[in-house]
Amino acid sequence: MKYLVCVLQQMLKETKTFAQTMFEAYICMYYFTALCLLPSGFTMLRAFSHTNGRCAFHHAKCWHHRKSVLAIRREDVNAWERRAPLAPKHVKELTQMGYKVLVQPSNRRAIHEKDYIKAGGIIQEDISEASLIVGVKRPPEDKLIPKKNYAFFSHTIKAQEANMPLLDEILRQEIRLFDYEKMVDHKGMRVVAFGKWAGVAGMINILHGLGLRFLALGHHTPFMHIGMAHNYRNSSQAVQAVRDAGYEISLGLMPKSVGPLTFVFTGTGNVSKGAQEMFNALPCEFVEPHELKEVSRSGDLRKVYGTVLSRHHHLVRKHDGLYDPVDYDKHPELYTSRFNTDIAPYTTCLINGIYWEQHTPRLLSRQDAQKLLVPVRSAAGATEGCPELPHKLLAICDISADTGGSIEFMTECTTIDSPFCMYDADQHIIHDSVEGSGILMCSIDNLPAQLPIEATEYFGDMLLPYIEEMLLSEGSEPLENQNYSSVVRDAVIASNGSLTAKYEYIQKLRESREYAQSLKMGNKKRVLLLGSGYVSGPVLEYLTRDSNVDITVASVMKEQLEQLTKKYSNVTSVHMDVIKHEEKLSSLVKKHNLVISLLPYSAHPLVAKKCIDHKVNLVTASYLTPAMKELQESVEAAGITVISEMGLDPGLDHMLAMECIDKAKEVGATVVSYTSFCGGLPAPEHSDNPLRYKFSWSPQGVLLNTVQSATYLKNGEIINIPAGGALLDSVTAMDFFPGLNLEGFPNRDSTKYAEPYGIQTARTLLRGTLRYKGYSKTMGGFVKLGLINPDPDPLLSSTMPPLTWKELMCKLVGIKPPAEYHVLKEAVFSKLEKDKSQLEAVEWLGLLGDEPVPAADSIVGALAKHMEMKLPFGPGERDMIVMRNEIGLRHPSGHLEDKFIDLVVYGDNKGYSAMAKTVGYPTAIAAKMVLDGEIDAKGMVIPLTKSVYGPILERVRAEGIVYRTHSVIKQ
């Protein structure tokens, strides 16, 4: 009765006449009396709603002898996802209304479990009793519970390819899916969203990014003291940091040579408003878009300028230059944007918050970016210490995170871990840095997760009014039987095993996309990349620059595959063990025009045979081994190209040698000696372990190289070194870069290159490996202990119980396990012939301890996996490549000349390793040349001819792989 009195009081306040009030009161009394006559055990919930002076029976849901259960699921899609759809205050309201609320435990959630318990929630792993399960992001397919109601951001309404497996599983399990993104009011405005906090976090991040970018360009600015959004406990702390920076700006502490700063906000929704709210903490002045040009040139340096861009500011009809909002909504394809000419040239930082749809104009294209990045002419007052900015547009914060959308060249989202990248419009490449040329990009797609507590409370306030009606139904019940409000009903994507009528278009979108892809694939070049390890990054980055190349990556490393497919739109992944699934490999090879194998060299003959069977070209970076040479006739009969030795060593060493040799022959000189040493090393400052080594490529390959045989020519005498470790006794100090303290040892059979190189006149022919001094001695200890053994070991079989390193070492030194540590240590020391440095290396790696031996087929395989874990490159550490070619020439005049070719490449802290670049880019370039018909030779090919090495050397220089040469003339 108390509820009815409240309704009547409200109607008296809002209705215009007493007669209207009495009529509506009569209707309400009628329904109230009917409900009171219902059997005991029924509860009336939200029976009445009062809007616009009208009393209506909104819906009455009768629930007999049961308490509905809501579950808040744990977020597990991303390490940074610390939000929840409801905060404790919302849980408290629901429990006070009689609902049971389950909360899945999560130490990652920003709001502590005790706060949910205090609000009446129950912390419980099993949420199967819930009728409604709510989350923020999508759940994994294998954690879905059949015939339940789920509410989350599904990202399926555009038939997003990555989420179609999830949608298929939802349909299969007859789940009812409510998508927050489609909860809209009668005007089409979203009623449940995190938008404001995306704007707030995005603005904080881009101010931080601008500080870094300005510093890279030679300017310290107040923005350097603003951190990333997640570094603040709450937005109030962030606001204070921005205010502090603003205070310094108001004092005139911005460098004069950078000029006035202008910020452009697109859109007028919550995203843009959230960003503007944070921007207002700076000393700012908002101007109209047409005033931007003036303030960007002569504005006050003690403030920053902002402008809010609406459609009418930049959109015009193509044929008459006018803007008609009604016509635009009907025919957006008839309009174009003048943002690139009227706004962007005067914009320092663009904060993009607009939703983009197909057929609507883009803000910026790649061609626009190229024009905007043309360097400005330096003013007379600019100096080296006080440089001007290279161009006006410095940064874009694309809060919409809509890849390929309104910002065409934003093709991949950045992450909270790596928030910034640079877009180089000239080369159309993106690199993870704040340095170099281009536009700083920030396009994180889960920005509110950086301010999780406030975002959760804000989102929950909007969601709570709709929870009850979603909760009071079973997912298994027919949708047509549910009395949902229009906001909730229109957000149901799927129910009872089918797409709802409003979203049946999703299936049509999928079908049309698949059809378009099938047509497109007819003209596309298809590449199969085997392996997703260290080197795959540059290979994919280079090949995906061509939108006409589609790539399939097959690998056993699932996480790396997922990262690659997220990063590149024209890359698909196949999770498989290539070696163990020959039939699947064969099927994959058949569907492609070219295979690139980055697998260990031992796998290449198998891959090559599949390529021969299906007449598919092959490129590898590894040596042309005897097993591969045996396939020469089959390759030629199949009419295919198989390129080997297309990496660094072998690869670039061949090319640099042949470039020098061919030029010498052109002037009539003969080669009297050739030595080439190359090594992949940690940069000197990171060589802090007993091996002075860290892994940037196949660990097993590195270890096995130390026990290979070697043959070389020295002063006319052939030197043979047997396999098994004798190679490590043939170490020579290398002093051509004295500061690096290098040593070198021969690598495989050098003499076989005399004929291919055309240098049969050479009396010295040696190719070798470089390491820091001390490496060979340490590796020699492993050889003594039998750790570099590639033979299958039954102790490591999957059918045997797990083994510790201590137990394995006992076996290798011939003592019975378990042995006391000091007993084992003494036995190992004896096996190492009392070499203390070798023993220290064994102890440092933990090989005398109780760590489990990794699963592997052989001891060397297990050691490789162990060393990969113990000797990785850490955050901020970089590797380096050192190569030295020395070629002795005798000229027709009789005088001698020594040619020196040096290649030194460092890895990028946040980019590719030096090894990845120097192996990956030559491999990718060669693959592209085969695809484009530049390399059309059939049979086994290595890069020894000018038509092959010439273009590759030229193109690797464009990728930052630069070598230098010098000569010494002898009389």
Task: Please give the C-alpha separations between residue 208 and each of 253, 256, 271, 273, in angstroms, as whole numbers.
Answer: 17, 20, 18, 19
Q: Tokens in use for 769?
A: 């490996």
Task: Pick the closest to residue 710 from 719, 698, 701 (CA basis).
Answer: 719
Task: Give the C-alpha separation, 294 to 707, whole Å.
Answer: 71
Task: Pick the closest to residue 393 from 265, 245, 264 (CA basis).
Answer: 264
Q: Tokens in use for 163?
A: 């989420």
Query: Strand 594-597's sheet: what is its strand order?
Result: 571-575, 549-555, 525-530, 594-597, 617-620, 641-643, 939-941
Q: Which helix (H) or strand (E) holds 206?
A: helix 195-216
Beta-carbon contacts of 631 under 8 Å, excluding residues fewer than 6 positions away, are 605, 608, 609, 612, 642, 940
Task: Pick the closest to residue 138 from 107, 162, 116 (CA basis).
Answer: 162
In three-state form (DSSP H/G/I as H, E/B as E, the rest C), the secondary structure along 665-724 is: HHCCCEEEEEEEEEEEEECHHHCCCCCCCCCCCCHHHHHHHCCCCEEEEECCEEEEECCC
The beta strand positions in 450-592, using DSSP E, are 492-495, 498-499, 525-530, 549-555, 571-575
Cβ atoms of 574 and 552 closer than 8 Å: yes
The beta strand positions in 536-694, using DSSP E, are 549-555, 571-575, 594-597, 617-620, 641-643, 670-682
Q: Is the alpha carbon torsion for 776, 778, 783, 789 positive or negative?
A: negative
CA 352 from centre of chain: 21
Which one from 649, 653, 793, 879 is the annotated catalytic residue? 649
Query: For residues 451, 454, 457 and 461, what is the CA-based torsion angle, rounded to 10 degrees?
Result: -110
What pairs with residue 675 in β-bridges? 766, 886
Cβ atoms of 436 and 446 closer than 8 Å: no
Cβ atoms of 748 and 767 closer than 8 Å: yes
Task: Pick the closest to residue 497 from 153, 23, 168 (CA basis).
Answer: 168
Does the active-site annotation cover 320? no
Which residues are identified as catalytic?
Answer: 649
